[in-house]
Amino acid sequence: MASFEGTFTGASGLRIAIVVARFNDLVTGKLLSGCLDCLSRHGIDTAATSAQLDIAWVPGSFEIPLVAQRLAASGRYQVVITLGAVIRGDTPHFDVVVAEVSKGVAAVSRSTGVPVIFGVLTTDTLQQALERAGIKSNLGWNYGLQALEMGSLMAALPG
Ligand code: INI
């Protein structure tokens, strides 16, 4: 019996792309900071000169899947992290944006075979989003960990 699981260390061969939405950048900027802090503490080079990490900014969460698709299909990255914040209070088309980004990210992952971490907060209020982006905890950190786990798991799996 084989047992496969990801690791959180020894990620020297891992190349990661992060797609971040500018919309609600008060929130997404904090998610990015938490994510970079996590990756850096687990051995990923997060310096501006890094060959291991690239960051792409998009206008809003709706645009995340298209850019994630391009990056995942490039063959350059073993894992893509998406960061966004869709807040119900801000928009009557909350449901449209959430449906598109969530289905889009899942489709990119399946079609390319590259794990794409879904780091898009969907909340009713800005307060709730901020609580998940650093006021209480910073989910950006979790998304970083999940990227390391999935990147190393996929490398360990056969096929
Ligand atoms: N984009 C978000 O990332 N979060 C939101 O809460 C949001 N609201 O509220 O509208 C949002 N809209 C922009 C959307 O993602 C696109 O960028 C825009 O529609 C252009 O295609």
Catalytic residue among 41, 76, 93, 136: 93
Q: Evaluate whether residue 139 is within a structural domain.
A: yes
Give the model confidence (pLDDT) of 51-102 as tens digits.
999 999 999 999 999 999 999 999 999 999 999 999 998 677 899 999 999 9
Into how many domains does the chain fold? 1
pLDDT in tens, 10-51: 566 899 999 999 999 999 999 999 999 999 999 999 999 999
CATH classification of the domain holding 70:
3.40.50.960
Do the domain assignments include residue 5?
A: no
Range of the domain at 95: 16-152
Q: Ligand 1 center to residue 61 CA distance, Å? A: 6
User: Per the domain annotation, does 135 fall within a domain?
Assistant: yes
Residue located via tokens 């687990």: 42
Residue having the nearest C-alpha atom to atom 21 of ligand 1? 62
In a domain, 159, yes or no: no
Exposure string over 90-117, b if 16+ CB within 10 A, otherwise e? eeeebeebbebbbebbeebbeebebbbb
**Assigned domain for 85 exists:** yes
Domain membership of residue 77 (yes or no) is yes
